[in-house]
Structure 1
């Protein structure tokens, strides 16, 4: 049995394990996402590659 990652163009769902999130994890993730959106807005119309 192989233990390395496997990628397929026929799977239509995420095959990576995702840990269960507690409320603090969700709050941290939300804060990070908001920071990213604010940074992108501050540098509009720059692309992510330009940032």
Structure 2
């Protein structure tokens, strides 16, 4: 069975693991907000089901 490489350079290369850029950090903000909203909605649904 053939294995596929994990991107350019294969799994052993450390070239793709560079320092995070500002754009990379900024992309976490909407994802964190969305995750927080989803967590609050799920917690509210859980409370409704329990009570």
TM-score in terms of structure 1 length: 0.46
Q: Which has the higher contact order (CA 8 A, sep 6+)?
A: 1
Higher helix share: 2
TM-score in terms of structure 2 length: 0.46
Structure number, greater radius of gyration: 2
